[in-house]
Structure 1
Amino acid sequence: MQSPFLHTLQPLWLPVASSLAGALNTVAGGGSFLSLPALLNAMKGSSVGSVSVQATNNVALWPGQLTSAFAYRDDLRRHTKRLLPLSIASFVGGLAGAWLLLITPNSRFMYLLPWLLLFAAVMFVLCEPLGRWLQTRREAHRSDLWLIVGMAVVSFYVGYFGAGGGFLVMALFGVCGVTNIHEVNALKVVTATVSIGIAVFWFIYNGRVVWFYCWQMAILAAIGGYLAARYSKRVNQKVMRRLVASIGFLTAAYFFWHVYGPKS
């Protein structure tokens, strides 16, 4: 039985989670680790399926990518030649992932959800040491090719699921030689804007968005994303990485228990 105190706080869960999700997506990725459980909880007992919840979550968080991309404009100047090919790869991958999501049965998506979250959390933990190791062995003339191909693959995952996609993008940039954390964040936000943007269009076109929740989440996530982009350089990156990794593993554990645990 839920305590009266927790019952009183429950209406605040989705607004707070949406604001923090926009901020996390800007600084390190993983905002859906907070917003998706909150949205699933808000729609508990309704006739809305988990695929539509996932689609609504992706649409709601997209404005946060737009506002933070504007705030990162100075960090993008060193990579202007990469922006067009990265955007094309993000577009193709994001559309393919969004198409696959909408043809996935709700029950199958819920069984996949804990594994997707766990995979994203593990990749986030591994991305920094993996990037450092490969940086010493990479061939510079091949890095852009692998970056474009890898971006299409990662964007497919982003279009399908989204949560943890920022981790994979950061790992990809580290592998391909982009090591400045602020430039990585800026490029991550731009590619997410495109891959999630085309997925957003596809979800809206197919009528899979619950607008009542989407609008409030979108506004709060946009505010959180912009503020985080403005002040991210003051954040200790090691502390932030540990915090996001912890959130990822805890969220994955929660969904493993919720999906595969004993049913009352």
Structure 2
Amino acid sequence: MLSFFTIIFIFFGGIAGGLLSSVASMASLASYPVLLAVGIPPVYANVTNDAALIWTGIGSTISSLKELKGHWKQVAFYAMFTVLGSILGCYLLLSFPSKVFEKVVPFFIAGSGVMVIVSAKHHNLEPHKRPLWQEIFYIAALLAMGVYTGYFGAAGGVIVLVLLTYITNEKFIVVNAIKNVVCGLANLVALIVFAFTSHIYWLQAIPLAVGMFIGGYLGMDILKVVPAKYVRVFIAALAFIQAAYFFYKAYML
């Protein structure tokens, strides 16, 4: 059994993770270390974290129903590719070690941080018809990010956010809401797969999930009042911090 203080610690870690997930797509900056701190081995902490992450998506979705109105066809279309990719990613994770990605992950994350800022200029331009090859490239990239989410997942939400920013011409808060649903569904698929193939620490996952639901709900409310340019800078800063951390793990240890 977990102690009361352990439950509270995990719960508040979940709130922090939910806020980071809905606002900056980086829940694991808070939630993953919390699970390690309570004694869960790294591999199972990652799986348990996935089990709780879907509640962030649920909380942020409920909080952003107004922004999602009229965009559900887009959500279904983009989610189709990320979910298919997530299934393939889970299969790869069960077949091959995740060490394969560790050397390139820091550069993916740092690049996404740059693109979050650069993408603001994209939305200042008038919408235009993209060539077919570009549409195919972006959709293929979404599929690849689904694979990445199921296989490794570090800061995958940021990269999906960047892709959706270029695919759509919606406001930033709408794009972020779509991202939360799309990534939530990809995480749900990963959870279903891992529930049958790995070990989830459910006692720790439950208070973490409750906290993430609350944090995810509150995070979308924060986005409605904070100017998008400040949110972009915040996301980019966290991306660079996480990129530096993964670079250190991959190349310095």
Report the TM range for the smaller structure's normalisation: 0.7 to 0.9
Matched residue type, 1:185: N
Which one has more relative contact order, counting CA pairs under 8 Å at least 6 apart? 2
Task: List alignment gaps of at least 5 residues for structure 2.
Answer: none
Q: Partner letter of residue 36 of structure 2?
A: L
2:70 aligned counterpart, secondary structure: helix
Q: CA deviation at 1:233?
A: 0.8
Q: Offset at 1:235?
A: 1.8
Question: What's the offset of the Cα at 1:105?
Answer: 3.8
Q: Which residue of 2 aligns with 1:98?
A: 90
In structure 2, which of residues 48, 54, 66 is the aligned counterpart of residue 56 of structure 1?
Answer: 48
Q: Is it true that 1:125 corresponds to 2:114 in the alignment?
A: yes
Identical residues among aligned pairs (%): 26
> Which residue of 200, 221, 224 maps to 2:215?
224
* Alignment match, 1:165: 156
What is the alpha-carbon distance in structure 1 between the residues aligned to residue 63 and residue 111 of structure 2? 29
Counterpart for residue 29 of structure 1: 25
Which residues in structure 2 correspond to 1:1-264 (within 5 Å)?
14-43=10-39, 48=41, 50-105=42-97, 108=99, 112-113=101-102, 115-130=104-119, 132-133=121-122, 139-140=129-130, 142=132, 145-257=136-248, 261=252
**CA shift in 2, pair 1:36/1:115, >3 Å:** farther
Structure 1 pair 260–232 and aligned structure 2 pair: CA distance change class (3 A): same
Supply the distance in 2 between the matched residues of 1:13 and 1:138 (Cα, whole angstroms): 49
**Deviations, residues 175-232 of structure 1 (Å, cap 9, x unaligned):** 2233411110111011112111100101111133122321121111111001112332
Tell me which amino acid in the other structure corresponds to 1:57. N
Question: Which structure 1 residue ranges, 5 or more long, are not aligned?
Answer: 1-8
2:94 corresponds to which letter in structure 1?
L
Give the root-mean-square deviation of aligned CA atoms.
3.1
Matches of 1:117 and 1:218, distance apart in 2: 27
Please say which of residues 164-173 and 120-129 is displaced more in the overlay. 120-129
Equivalence for 1:6: none
CA, structure 1 residues 133+65, in 2 after alignment: closer, same or farther (shift >3 Å)? closer
The answer for the alignment partner of 1:5 in structure 2 is none
- Normalised to the residue count of structure 2, the TM-score between the two structures is 0.82
Amino acid at match of 1:98: C
Quick check: 1:29–1:167 contact (8 Å CA) kept in 2?
A: yes
In 2 relative to 1, CA 64–120 (structure 1 residues): closer, same or farther, beyond 3 Å? Answer: same
- Rounded to whole Å, the distance in 2 between the matches of 1:69 and 1:31 is 16
Aligned pair count reads: 247
- State the Cα distance separating 1:58 from its structure 2 match: 1.4
User: What is the distance in 2 between the residues matched to 1:72 and 1:137?
Assistant: 24
Query: Which residue identity lines up with residue 48 of structure 2 in the other structure?
Result: T
Report the Cα distance in structure 2 between the residues aligned to 1:226 and 1:186, rounded to whole angstroms: 11
